Structure 1
Amino acid sequence: MSVRRALVFSFLDRNASLVIGIVSSMVLARLLTPADIGVFSVVMVLLSFVTAWRDFGAGQYLVQEAELTPERIRAVWTLQLGIGLGMALLTLAASWPVAHFYDEPRMRGIMALLALSYLVNPFGSLTYAWLMRTMRFEALTVMRFSATLAGAVVGVLCAWWGLGAISLAWGSLASIVVNALVSLAFRPPDFPLLPGTQEIGRVLRFGTRLTTTSMMETAAQGAPELVLGKLQGMTSVGLYSRGNGLIALFARLVTDSVNAVAMPLFAQQKREGGDLGAAFLRGNAYVTVIGWSFALGVALLAQPLIRVLYGPQWEGSVEITRWLALFMALSLPAALCFQVLVGSGASERLPPTMAKAAGTTVLAAAIGAWFGVLPMVWGLIIAAAMGTTLWLRTTRQVLGFALPTFLAGLGKSAAVAGFSALPPLATMLWLGWSPAQPLLALGLGGVGAAITGVAGLLLLDHPLARELRPLLARLSRRRDRSA
């Protein structure tokens, strides 16, 4: 599959999942309280440390391995099954002490359901990794969409029936079960059925580096909610999670789509002797121009966005969301560093870089949370700037890309983002920062941002414009034929 076609399917997948996620979030925000969301968020953050071990990097090993043999596939399968069982038992054992520590009995039932999901997960993840390696994104789209839809429907129905915070756990379990069932249709007929241990040492060496890195990344991502839950209460966690979830829409819409293609693409180019530095710079330009435009739009339109999507009970998330948009913007230039380092075979550089970046983030969260949610976010912003610098320095040492070319790409992305921010800014200055008609504000600001953003891409000849011009030309020819 070509890179362009792979990206199209990846974006379709994420966009469809995003629509489902937004709709289900809107419904759940009205059926569940901030405290319900907070309880589930804390459990998920705690279990993210367990999830980091979900397949010990075995799936990523399968994607990037240059010489893949049946014995190595069997070794991957062995690790996935064994770790799934271990995670399930550990989660069950931890449910009572965790519920006692937070004085929150609801956590026990949530963790029991999530433990079951760890048992089921390996039956879909092996096929998923194989499809990633072969860049069969049409099949991945079917798998992910089916799982997302099932999770959303089950979660909303459980919340509608008044089950509370555990509704989200039922949705998560349903998503993983459906993913495993659908994967059966795409499993290659010659794929090994039985596990094996002959090549397990090779997989473990790769997985140790990735899992160590993943654990540190998980600590950095989870620290804000864990510390807030203990120091400021579950309502504060819920407000932070809601703002962070709105910012994370970009990750689901764009970053995840690009990353899904990036690692197998970088690995393929490495095997074929391609120019990884040029590919990284091009991908970075795409991510930053869209991401910075999104961040500015969310920062300016945060109040009507929160009001329309989640309702008035979440007004406390507005200011948090604005500052988290800056946090995201500072993180974006390093968004592809992990993928290119793994794909290029430089995974040994991951742990030391992540240790420094994650340590800075955890420290910032721990200090800031003593003073409240906003001081914590301000600390995270400083940590994001430092972490991005660390990741880019490591990536440049490996790829050797030209710094002036990289900075020029960032400059063009920033200029286009500035163009896109003009309509949202004008809209909020006209209607007020708490507009009485939030839908009107979103319509004017959002549509205007899209128009001026595209104009900025074309006027400044941004790298993304080279992908956009052929599409615009085809649309123009089609319009002329229909006329």
Structure 2
Amino acid sequence: MWRRRKSPATGVPAQPTTLRMAVVLSSLQQYTDLMITFPSIMILSRLLTPAQIGVYSVAVTFVNLVHMLRDFGTSEYIVQADRLDTGKPQTAFTITWIVAWALAALLFLTSPLIAAFFREPDLTDVLRILSITYLLLPIGSTTSSMLVRELQFGIRYKINTTQLLVQNGLTIVLAWYGFGYFSPAWGAVAGMLTTVAGCLYWGRHHRIRGIGLKHWREVGNFGLKKTLGSVMSRLGDSAPDFVIGRMIGFTAVGMFSRGFGLVRLFRDNVSAAVGTVAYSALAQRHRDGGIAGDLYLRSITFITGLGWPFLGFSSLMAFPIIRIFFGDQWDMAVPILRLLAIQVAISLIVMHYQDLLTAIGRVGTATLWVTVWQIATVVTLVIAASAGLVAIAAALIPTTAILVVLVAIGLARESGVGAAAYARALMPSAWLAVATLVPAAVSRWCYPPSAEALWGPILCAGACALAGAIVGGMATRHPLWLEMTLVYRRRRGHDGERVSSSR
């Protein structure tokens, strides 16, 4: 039976983290992920060849696609359910366990067919190694969803950080000793083992105990719709690896993956700092009878306030970024990074729209829009692939712009988030981006980067961008600036209290 976490000292159930503290902890988690993951990518880029990274990228793409099926939407069900009666958590855990183990067997048995399709025999062993993670997954996913529901991001921080350290550390060691694309595969298995151990230790009071299928109809109805949307979303994310790997080659997959790497790090880590909390908070706001749309728009202001300056700077300084972090063997990734940064910046306008729709009970609509988005993405990739990697990255920009407009119209109908409210939410971020990027662009024009001059231009442009961001934040009173100011004032207040008490 599921039980809430108790305080070690008193045995009283712990209180949920406040929303502001949840965002702080989630942000800390994502920035910690960046500090661990990005240096690991830099090291692996020098230990593995583009072809080796391409093989692993295709393998992990298949695993991530299957990953969307592994819990049949039970994690999201646990977070958004109005009440968790006795039997519902057990039903969710049982369904997760059945599906995950079945998928592990399916991936293991079909891996030779997948390898034959891509004409890469070693892909078989990589996929079979990664299938082990599904045998371990049910404990980690259900415990994590219980922690998210109660905004217990402190426990999640300890579990996820330990997992990342183990996974990336083992991957680098194995790559150093010449294991090639098997290195990240075994690293993923070690990471999953660490997650399970962390859930059993730190999250033991949130672990679901027992099995059952009492509420299988309710869980299954939600899960079917959510899983379809998740699969379509993952298909769209994975489509570049599939299409490029089949039509161009694994070296091209590695090059595209590295060009998309920095952008993906932002999307999957920094924006997730808001997104991870947003879904739980939106669902809670809706359960309490509040207006979830207002909270969603505030999250968009935060995401674009972070994303537009960062992605704009990445596009401006793509050449020194690729050279410094990955080396000259990845120069072909420079125009890819430049274009994909623009594409993702546009997509941030409706970031996490499916979370809003799911939180207010419109999971079917969320699935429909995700499906439309990903089909359009796949069609664009297939059409542009014959013209090369740069053409693919360029073609995604107008496609994404059209899809953003369509989704915004759909959100207005379903949640009442109108165009005027959207414009008000985006305007502070737009001015902040202008204030940040104009000085950086002037610096780049006056002091352009080259193969002989990398650090000087990027540091100069970075300093100009930082100065512009500070001025822009103050001038626009962007919510990000106000939050940082509030944290600073509180910190000074606490320091002052400690000084007074010491006297």
Name the TM-score, length of structure 1 as normaliser. 0.96
Deviation at 1:64, TM superposition (A): 0.5
Match of 1:276 in 2: 292
Residue identity in the other structure for 1:200: W
Residue of structure 1 aligned with 2:372, choices 329, 344, 356: 356
Residue matched to 1:70: 86
Selected match of 1:218 from 221, 234, 241: 234
Give the counterpart letter for 2:409 in structure 1. R
Say which SS state the counterpart of residue 105 (structure 1) adopts. coil
What is the 5 A alignment of 1:229-248?
A: 229-248=245-264
Contact between 1:291 and 1:332, CA under 8 Å: does it hold in 2? Answer: yes
Change (3 A) 1:443 1:253: farther
Q: Distance in 1 between matches of 2:264 and 2:133?
A: 23
Aligned partner letter, 2:407: W
**1:405 match:** 421
Q: Which residue of structure 2 lines up, in the alignment, with residue 373 of structure 1?
A: 389
Asked if 2 retains the 8 angstrom alpha-carbon contact of 1:18 and 1:252, the reply is: no
In 2 relative to 1, CA 339–454 (structure 1 residues): closer, same or farther, beyond 3 Å? farther
Preserved CA contact (<8 Å) 1:223 1:365: yes
Aligned-partner Cα distance in 1 for 2:495–2:208: 51
| 2:143 counterpart of 1:111 | no
2:400 to 364, 381, 384: 384
Please give the secondary structure, in 1, of the residue aligned with 2:238: helix
Single out whichever of 259-268 and 246-255 deviates more from structure 2.
246-255
- 294, 303, 319: which one aligns with 1:287: 303
Give the aligned length. Answer: 482
Q: Give the aligned residue type for 1:398.
A: E
Cα distance in 1 for partners of 2:482, 2:414 equals 27
Match of 2:225 among 182, 193, 209: 209
Asked if residue 19 in structure 1 is aligned to residue 35 in structure 2, the reply is: yes
1:450, CA displacement in angstroms?
2.5
8 Å contact 2:436–2:468 — kept in the other structure?
A: yes
2:446 maps to what in 1? 430
Task: Name the SS of the counterpart of 1:361 in structure 2.
Answer: helix
Give the drift of 1:427: 2.9
One-letter identity of the residue aligned with 1:140: R
RMSD of aligned residue pairs (Cα, Å) = 1.8
SS of alignment partner, residue 70 of structure 1: coil
Identify the residue that residue 96 of structure 1 maps to in structure 2.
Answer: 112
Hey, what does 2:96 align to over in structure 1?
80
Q: In the aligned structure 2, how far is the partner of 1:442 from the partner of 1:149?
A: 29
8 A Cα contact 2:73 2:227, kept in partner: yes
Distance 1:286 1:72, change over 3 A: same
Instruction: Report the Cα distance in structure 1 between the residues aligned to 2:395 and 2:29, rounded to whole angstroms.
Output: 34
3-state SS of 1:184 partner: helix
In 2, Cα distance between equivalents of 1:56 and 1:368: 33
CA distance in 1, matches of 2:369, 2:206: 39
5+ long unaligned stretches in structure 2? 1-16
Counterpart for residue 345 of structure 1: 361
Matching residue of 2:67: 51
Q: Say if 2:159 and 2:202, in contact at 8 Å, map to a contact too.
A: no
Instruction: Report what 2:344 is aligned to.
Output: 328
Shift of 1:480: 8.9
Residue number in structure 2 paired with 1:140: 156
The answer to whether 1:442 aligns with 2:465 is: no
Pairwise CA distance, 1:190: 7.7
Letter in 2 for 1:50: V
TM-score, with structure 2 as normaliser: 0.92
Q: Take 1:189 and 1:469, find their aligned partners in 2: how far apart are those partners? A: 36
2:146·2:206 contact (CA, 8 Å) conserved in 1?
Answer: no
1:307 aligns with 2:318: no
C-alpha distance in 2 between matches for 1:185 and 1:445? 46
Question: Which deviates more from structure 2 when the two are superposed, residues 208-217 or residues 41-50?
Answer: 41-50
Alpha-carbon distance, 1:108 to partner: 1.1
How far does residue 383 in structure 1 lie from its aligned partner after superposition?
1.8
Q: 429-438 vs 119-128, which deviates more?
A: 429-438
Letter in 2 for 1:441: P
Range that drifts further, 41-50 or 145-154:
41-50
Say whether the 8 Å CA contact 2:155–2:203 is kept in structure 1: no
SS of alignment partner, residue 273 of structure 1 = coil
Distance of 1:373 and 1:327 partners within structure 2: 14
**CA separation of 1:191/1:48 partners in 2, compared to 1, >3 Å: closer, same or farther?**
closer
Q: Deviations over 1:364-404 (max 9, x none)?
A: 01101111111111221122112222222222222212321
Aligned with residue 396 of structure 1, among 396, 412, 423: 412
5+ residue gaps, structure 1, are none
1:192 deviates by: 4.4
Measured against aligned partners, the alpha-carbon deviations of 1:409-443 in whole angstroms (never above 9, x if no partner) come to: 22221111011113432332233242523222332
Map Cα deviations across residues 231-257 of structure 1 (whole Å, 9 max, x no partner): 111111111000111111212332111
Contact 2:448 2:457 in 1 (8 A): no
| Structure 2: distance between partners of 1:194 and 1:472 | 46
Which segment drifts farther, 419-428 or 450-459?
419-428
8 Å contact from structure 1 (residues 223, 366) kept in 2: no
| Residues 461-472 of structure 1 aligned to structure 2 (within 5 Å) | 461-472=477-488
Whether the aligned pair in 1 keeps the contact of 2:74 and 2:96 (CA below 8 Å) is yes
Q: Following TM superposition, by how much is the alpha carbon of 1:186 offset from its aligned partner in structure 2, in angstroms?
A: 3.3
Q: Give the C-alpha shift of residue 104 in structure 1.
A: 1.0
Percent sequence identity over matched residues?
29
Q: How many Å separate the matches in 1 of 2:196 and 2:39?
A: 24
- From 23, 26, 35, give the equivalent of 2:51: 35
Residue 96 to residue 466, structure 1, CA distance change in 2 (3 Å):
same
Task: Give distance in 1, aligned partners of 2:183 and 2:294.
Answer: 45
* Alpha-carbon distance between aligned partners in 1 of 2:249 and 2:452, rounded to the nearest angstrom: 31
CA contact (8 A) 1:293 1:416 kept: yes
> Which shows bigger deviation, 443-452 or 68-77?
443-452
Partner amino acid, structure 1, of 2:38: I
The answer to whether the 8 Å contact 1:357/1:390 transfers is: no
User: How far off its partner does 1:478 sit?
Assistant: 7.9
2:182 aligned partner: 166
Shift of 1:266: 0.5
Q: Which amino acid aligns with 1:306?
A: I
C-alpha distance in 2, partners of 1:161/1:334? 43
- Separation of aligned partners in 2, 1:135 and 1:307: 40
Deviations 1:69-128 (A, max 9, x none): 221111101111111111111111121111112221221111011110111111211110
Distance 1:9 1:147 in 2: 17
Instruction: Check if 1:319 corresponds to 2:335.
Output: yes
CA distance in 2 between counterparts of 1:435 and 1:35 reads 24
